[in-house]
Structure 1
Amino acid sequence: MIKNHDRKFKIGMHSYTLHLSGFGESWGFQEFGEHHAFEQVATFKDLVNIAAEVGLDVLHITLVDIQNDTSDEHLAECRKIAEDAGIELELNVSFNAPSDPRVNCNVVDSLNIAHKLGCNLVKYSTDVEHPEKSSHSCLAPSVMAQLVEIYNQFHDNIPLIEEYGMKIAIENHCDLFADEVIWLVEQLNHPLIGACCDTINSLMVMEGIADCVRKMAPYCYCVHFCDNRVFADPDGTHSLGTAIGAGNVDCKAIMDILREEAPEGLDTIDLEIELPLSGYTIEEGRELELNGLRDSIEYMYKELGIGYNPAKIYGDSNYFLNK
């Protein structure tokens, strides 16, 4: 049996999982040099209701999900909606998102917004640019110059982070190697500042999933838990998102690492699904996203022992029954 086998986590969802309904972020269109926004067909209250219905404990949201309305009145309304439903909130922001600038925010504003929403964590995508020959560009001079500037932004706001008691998580968001995230966290050297490990993003910098998770786990305050199907065909090598447990990622092995190595500050596992866009209408895609969400929660709770609220739907977890 692994160390900390019985360690429990809340189950969260990155709202990007429902991006075809206009939640989270419209991502990936940077290759076409354009901004994009899927039509938002539901409200923040609808999103919270979905979370409660499917058994989530936490919603990991972006500014898009609150319609970019950061007035005190609207933030208080959103906070009450979540609290009344028993759903905790985390905030996800970017510094310079390449295809959906609606998610962008600076450190000060994001901390203030998160505090008013009642969040206990803010996740940051730093949007660092690497040289075109990126495979061996970890900690390259041009990258380090950007990391120093990012360090200064966080360091200058440590008093506000401390005032709010807010956990900070810096993500390997397709733009940072694990060692670069770790460098930032170690240089900042503060108990409230850690990492967010996305279990698929490492592929974008040609970094192995297992190695990335092992490196980042001791620093993690946040996890974007993903599963993908990786395959080759005559058009090349592809990585396509699936419901958790339906792809090629060994999800149990990743959770074993996190249970053994992650600090106590990691108390939530946020699932994230990115289903392919092609092959169906957007209406069909929205339904597939909801089905994938339900399948993922059932798998993560039953087989990986993640979550508290899913017990109301699924009863006992196989994970804890099959020690």
Structure 2
Amino acid sequence: MKLGLETESYHIHFQHGRMDIFDFIEKTVELGLDGVQINIIEDLNLNPEWGCLGSNDPDHLKKIKTLLDKHQLYCEIDMRGVEKEKMVQVIDVANVLGAKVIRTYINKGHFDPVKTQQAVDKILSIEPLLKKNDIHLAIENHEEEIADEVVELIEKVNSPYVGCLCDIGNGMMAWEDPKTTVDKLLPYAKTTHFKDHIVIKDGDQLRVSGCPIGYGNIDTDYCFKKIVEETDLTHINIEMCHPYVSYFKRPLGLGGVEYLGEGAFKIEEPYFDPAIIKPMETYHPSAENLEMMLKAQDEDVKKSVTYMKKLRDKYCS
């Protein structure tokens, strides 16, 4: 089983000019990993169209491809939305970089059933292009959806070129246990995001906080074992979401979890003061907190990689 790294694992470094895509690739090699997952969603601190990728300029892409080939790394692309014009551009980028999987997601901030339903026809309109280029589209459960809603969309599209990205932690924001998420999504999985979470209190509010993999309350052992034993996936992508905090996006009980206190939903003490790692502050920390957060992010990626390699040794010997 190969292990890759998603650029979101170093989001603070990217957004504050401490890392570009070439630095990230070299960091991935330094960590002893096998591939990269490049997030191209727009960000005000990055390229407004191509995010961590930097640009879709042909010469720029060729340089990235050369570096990927030099280190024999696999590559995947992470985008959002299913608008045909953008998807055509992303497929072109994927072809240059040798990426055979493109992740996307439908909802952002809240679940919109109308938008989700409209996505079916939009995906069907680009399915022939996916087939022509032998590229697979992976719909992510992106904090707003429970697994059943993602599965319903995939089954409506009904194409071997369209499946899901199984993010083992995102279902928590919809009150779904990670083991339920994994059990339901893995039969449709084209790729993964592997992470860890804890639940914390922020004043009177409850939040889901990222943390180093192996240091939270997701049953990562169960999730890794299921991926290895019950899928044909050849690699798992580390997405170390810390420093990061998210909100619960759906009503309590929707995903099957109706109370806190056990398993992944056990309430823990936060790693950082919640005041400095709320969603906006996470992406735009104050000058006094920036260096601390940059250092913590790098250290937590290293902890996560060490833990993931131990899981690989345990289940992939």
TM-score interval, smaller chain: 0.7 to 0.9
Report if aligned partners of 1:94, 1:105 keep a CA contact under 8 Å in 2: no
Q: Which residue in the other structure is 1:119 paired with?
A: 99
Residues 156-205 of structure 1: CA distance to partner in whole angstroms, max 9, x if unpaired?
Answer: 11221112111211001112221121112112222221111111111222
Return the match for 1:285 from 293, 299, 316: 293
Residues 199-247 of structure 1: CA distance to partner in whole angstroms, max 9, x if unpaired?
Answer: 1111222222221211111111111111012244753333221111011
Q: Which residue in the other structure is 1:20 paired with?
A: 12
Return the match for 1:295 from 303, 306, 314: 303
CA RMSD of aligned residues (A): 2.3
Find the aligned partners of 1:242 and 1:79 in 2 and give their Cα distance.
31
Q: Which residue in the other structure is 2:237 paired with?
A: 270
Q: Which residue in the other structure is 1:185 paired with?
A: 154
* Identity level (%): 25
* Alpha-carbon distance, 1:53 to partner: 0.4
* Alpha-carbon distance, 1:105 to partner: 7.6
- Which secondary structure state, in structure 2, belongs to the residue aligned with residue 65 of structure 1? coil
Find the aligned partners of 1:223 and 1:61 in 2 and give their Cα distance.
13
Return the match for 1:255 from 224, 243, 260: 224
Q: Which residue in the other structure is 2:58 paired with?
A: 72
- Which secondary structure state, in structure 1, belongs to the residue aligned with residue 59 of structure 2? helix
Find the aligned partners of 1:60 and 1:261 in 2 and give their Cα distance.
22
Return the match for 2:38 from 47, 61, 76: 61
Q: What is the TM-score with the length of structure 1 in the denominator?
A: 0.76
Q: Which structure has more RCO (C-alpha within 8 Å, separation ≥ 6)?
A: 1
Residues 70-117 of structure 1: CA distance to partner in whole angstroms, max 9, x if unpaired?
Answer: 122221121112111222110000129xxxxxxx98322221111122
Amino acid at match of 1:56: L
Q: State whether structure 2 residue 110 is matched by structure 1 residue 90.
A: no
Distance 1:205 1:157, change over 3 A: same
Find the aligned partners of 2:58 and 2:181 in 1 and give their Cα distance.
39
> Number of residues paired by the alignment?
265
Q: What is the TM-score with the length of structure 2 in the denominator?
A: 0.77
Report if aligned partners of 1:227, 1:242 keep a CA contact under 8 Å in 2: yes
Q: Which residue in the other structure is 2:250 paired with?
A: none
- Which secondary structure state, in structure 2, belongs to the residue aligned with residue 94 of structure 1? coil
